[in-house]
Amino acid sequence: MKIRHLGQDGRSIRIATPAKLNLFFELLGKRGDGFHEVETVMSTVSLFDDLQFSARDDGLLRLSIFQEGCTATESIPDDDRNLILKSMSRLRDRHGSKDLGCDVFLRKRIPSAAGLGGASGNAAGALLAANWIWKLGLTPEQLDSAAAEIGSDVPFFFHGGSCLCTGRGEVIESKNVPSGMAIVIAKPDTGLSTAAVYGKCSVPHQPKNSDAVLRELQMGRWNRVGENLFNRLEEFAMSMTPAIGKLKDTFDRLDCVGHQMSGSGSSYFGIFRNAADAHRAAKIATLETGSTIFACSTLGQEGTFRALVETG
């Protein structure tokens, strides 16, 4: 996450929350709580939603949303079904008082139902903002715990950069990885429900591990990262929508070093040798696929989460 602005009175904050990509995703088993045990490598990328939070003293939580690009046609709730308000309400109920309120403005750019973690990043930003503007004084560990209750991917966004994530995705191990890997993301018109994709999948008898992709990431050898991409969910998602298979065929023809689906889909991405190659490929993909295309790059760890919590 990036802190764009801190109000001088400590009652407002502007945060940019990034999208994420899964460079590796494997299913290890089915848990007793209904979730799957997973091993995944996630990286934040330079595609952001913007969030503005301003404290109120009347207990009202209000969310306004401006939807850009392909998100303009999406149905995004602005009530307590939205993870932003759900996160803030839960934190207030447990650690604050009923008079704490907030006006939230969301500028939405990250597509939903895409495997890009947009809503999870928004939730992490909301927890961070609530702790700051309401002066709750929660520790990083307390916020990590609250994030894990909201969603499996939410804790990752407090760390950012590239991380190995295990458990149901909420156990985070940060990795020292250089930024700047050139990426093109394609989001087809069709979205996919995470629950629906998981409902189709099966756990392999001999799961793969992420050792190779992590090694190449840490060395900054993007071509070899591309060679070691893996997503167990892709074959199941592809059986649910032909759009993913069509994107796979398109990326096969582009000059990328590797490509696959992110998360449970439906977005698809490719890794390129440099930004110039990525931008050329993005133009071709736009013409050929009719999908929404983003040219971006991977991010390093910003450190804003720890810094803000520890000084708040």
Supply the residues annotated as catalytic: 20, 153
Contact 256, 284 (CB under 8 A): no
CA distances in angstroms from 40 to 12, 91, 264, listed in the order given: 34, 28, 12
Query: How are strands ordered across the β-sheet holding 258-261?
Result: 258-261, 268-272, 182-187, 292-297
Contact 208, 214 (CB under 8 A): no
112 is in an annotated binding site: yes
Contact 59, 76 (CB under 8 A): no
Q: Which long-range contacts (CB under 8 A, 24 or more apart) does 163-167 make?
A: 163/41, 163/42, 163/43, 164/39, 164/40, 164/41, 164/210, 164/214, 165/38, 165/39, 165/40, 165/41, 165/42, 166/37, 166/38, 166/39, 166/40, 167/37, 167/38
118 is in an annotated binding site: yes
Helix (H, G, I), strand (E, B) or coil at 144: helix
Helix (H, G, I), strand (E, B) or coil at 261: strand
Contact 268, 15 (CB under 8 A): no
List the structure tokens of 164: 């190995």
113 is in an annotated binding site: yes
Residue 204 has phi, psi (to 5 degrees) of -70, 155
Q: In 10 A of CB 31, how many CB atoms?
A: 12
The 8-class DSSP code of residue 73 comes to G
Helix (H, G, I), strand (E, B) or coil at 217: helix
Annotated binding site for ATP: 111-121
